[in-house]
Amino acid sequence: MTQETVATRRFVEGEGLNVELFQRLVFTRRFLEKVDTLYRQGRVRGPAHLGLGQEAIAVGVGSLLRPGDRSIGTYRGHAHALARGASPESMLRELLGREGGICAGKGGSMHITSVEHGYYGSYAIVGAHLTIANGLAWADQIQRNDAVTVCFFGDGTVNIGAFHEAVTLAAVWKLPVVFVCENNQYMEYTPISAMIPTARPAADKAAAYGMTSIVVDGNDLTEVRRVIGAAIEDARCGRGPALVEADTYRLKGHSAADAGKYRPAEEVERWRARDPLLVYREQLIAAELLDDSAADQMWTDARDELNALTEVVLKAPPPDASGAWTDLWSDGSSSWRN
Amino acid sequence: MERREFIVAQLSFRNAVRDALAQEMRRDERVIVLGEDVAIGGVFKTTAGLLDEFGSRRVWDTPICEQAIAGAAMGAAIAGLRPIAEIMFSDFYATCWDQVVNEIAKTRYMTGGQVTIPLVLRGANGFGSLGFGSQHGQACENWVMTVPGLKIVSPATPAEMKGLLAAAIQDPDPVLVFEHKALYGAVEEVPDGDLVIPLGRARTVRPGRDVTLVGLSITVRTCEEAAERLDAQGISAEVIDLRTLVPLDAQAVLESVARTHRLVIAEENPGQLGWGASLSSIVVEEAFGELAGPPVRVSGGNIPYPVASVLEAEVAVTPDRVVRAVQQVLGISAPTATAVPQPAAIN
């Protein structure tokens, strides 16, 4: 990583290592793999954008947030919802078009939301939710709540106007918001490097907003927790917003329908060697907090749990059709005239 | 209509906006205001005095960034506040259309009701012979009417402005309030004290027997003037102020048409997919048997708006055009001009 990874210098091996976080990484990976499989079986309604390979960012930030903190993300948001405690079963129900879906069957893969867990939604218009994140943080600022909002977005977002407007307003109002760019190296099918005028999509723009340029190794959970943790605590203490760029890699295509064949094989292999699950596993083993058999057991347990959940969900009926007409307005109705 | 005190005072449309904001900010500390230049009072002076009374935690100046303004209002609304965002000219909704249409309008539905979004977006709207031209002079209510999930308020008088804006602020859903810029200087006597007019109930401005005239915002006055002229010709016109497009009080119009059997709609926006087309289709589909003839719409021209006075006058929705439309539906004289000006050489 580059010199901006200030974190590296202060890194103390073993600090904050936690087996439970590895378990969360494994479960998240298994969940995304399950969705991939279900998609290939033609069982997922609509597209499914998977964050395979990017899990350490969602899991790491999720472990830093307190009850009352808010997070918000993109259509690639399954890991971010799980990281706040959203129900995997309700998510599967949503993805598979069954009753009891987390968005009642009206959101699907791209709009997974769990407000009760502080995850304020997955938005599928690139950049739009950065402006909403400001509003969440603004409400906490006005009400003097001791809360922070974290907003996840992709590298391609930095080129859309809403990004600029949102980061500007956050800086001008000194909002308690942390913008986390998951730089997975690809816009959709095109390398982000071909679509930005400087080397780094987000970090190189930080100075224009009066912010420090922060880059973190997004595949290293320990680093994610330390660097983004510092930004979150700064924001919580009223020191204003931050723009963090987390380097990572999308191990699969843009969506489950995309084989990602435009990526050079050696590039994929290089990043596979830096798989966030391998990185954290090695750290835990080196610290003698985990051994291979315990790690393997976690993989098996997560697979079994998700297989069992999927079996239950696939047997569930679809939602009642009348649900199509509810919850446009806050009185539960969708009527526009008398 | 709820009126607590009955001291009558002169109130301008512009001050009615400010009074409604102040009334609701006093009532509910969750109500906050944001927008460009709002702290100093706003370019139309509709937020004058709010900073002094409520302080900087309730009144927030923003950069020129409509997407960020609309998005901040949405996020704060989801988080439990009652934000009121000024969008200086309604033409500028085009610069934050994504937030309005894809986020504010849809998020409650697409999260299965996990969030409510009690916000108001408000600002200057309409044409009205002020020379603002194409990018600051459109009537944009009908843009919004194409999108389920947004309520639309467009008041016609100072009292209406105060009461409807207050109701919009109290409403638990997203409401867009359109303030006709040619009405800001209008003054009328308004009862002092709090005023709230429920959304979704049209107002019969003037009863009549022979024809129903439906207006919104400034065209309510246009219809009233037309009705006065028609009265002199022995034609009794009923004038209805729709007040809100969503929720739409269709029943009020259907009931009126059941008595008058004739309908003329006056809308300031271009006739292409104007709100009058929706209203007309409802009446034709649901009260065809009551109609003595086809409804006629008087609408703004299907052009961006011009500036020079003579050009503005050419496309304006005027009492004269409404009178001619009424004569047309009554078959009194062969129409010499269509309701919508469309030069054959151009259209």
Quickly list DSSP for B191-250. ESS-EE--TT--EEEE--SSEEEEE-THHHHHHHHHHHHHHHTT--EEEEE--EEETB-H
Q: Which domain holds residue A172?
A: 6-313
**Chain A neighbours among B 67-86 (CB < 8 Å)?**
67-81, 83
Interface check B98 vs A, CB under 8 A: yes
Inter-chain contacts counted by CB atoms under 8 A, chains A and B: 165
- Residues B45, B156, single domain; the answer is yes
Domain shared by B191 and B212, yes or no: no
Band (pLDDT 50/70/90 cuts) for residue B56 is: very high
Instruction: Clarify whether residues B229 and B175 are in a common domain.
Output: no
Same domain, B305 and B262: yes
How far apart are the CA of A190 and the nearest CA of chain B, in angstroms?
24
Provide the annotated active-site residues of B: 66, 136
Residue B148 and residue A336: Cβ atoms within 8 Å? yes
Residue for token pair 């011009």: B306
pLDDT digits (tens, 9 = 90+) for B62-111: 999 999 999 999 999 999 999 999 999 999 999 999 999 999 999 999 99
Query: What's the pLDDT score for residue B128?
Result: 63
Average pLDDT value for chain B:
93
Mind listing the pLDDT tens digit for each residue in B287-330? 999 999 999 999 998 999 899 999 988 999 999 999 999 999 99
The length of chain A is 338
The pLDDT of residue B8: 77
The per-residue pLDDT for B343 is 45
A282 falls within a domain: yes
What tens digit of pLDDT does each residue of B148-191 get? 999 999 999 999 999 999 999 999 999 999 999 999 999 999 98
Percentages of chain B per state (helix, strand, coil), in multiples of 5: 40, 20, 40
Taking an 8 Å cut-off on Cβ atoms, the answer to whether A113 and B73 are in contact is no
pLDDT at A157: 98
Provide the sign of the torsion angle of the four alpha carbons A221, A148, A242, A249, taken in this order.
positive
Q: What's the pLDDT score for residue B76?
A: 98
Query: Which domain, by its residues, includes B70?
Result: 8-196
pLDDT at B6 (0 to 100): 60
CB contact under 8 Å between A165 and B67, yes or no, is: yes
Same structural domain for residues B184 and B212?
A: no
Record the tokens describing residue B168, joined without a space: 């919009």
Q: Are residues B258 and B145 in the same domain?
A: no
- Is 50 exceeded by the pLDDT of residue A12? no
Question: How do residues B248-278 score in pLDDT, each as one tens digit?
Answer: 999 999 999 999 999 999 999 999 999 999 9
Is residue B51 domain-shared with residue B180, that is, in the same domain? yes
- Per-residue pLDDT band for A202 (boundaries 50, 70, 90) equals very high
Higher pLDDT, B33 or B192: B33
Per-residue model confidence (pLDDT) at position A13: 35
Q: What's the structural domain count of chain B?
A: 2
Q: What is the CATH number for B288?
A: 3.40.50.920
In chain B, what percentage of residues exceed pLDDT 70? Answer: 93
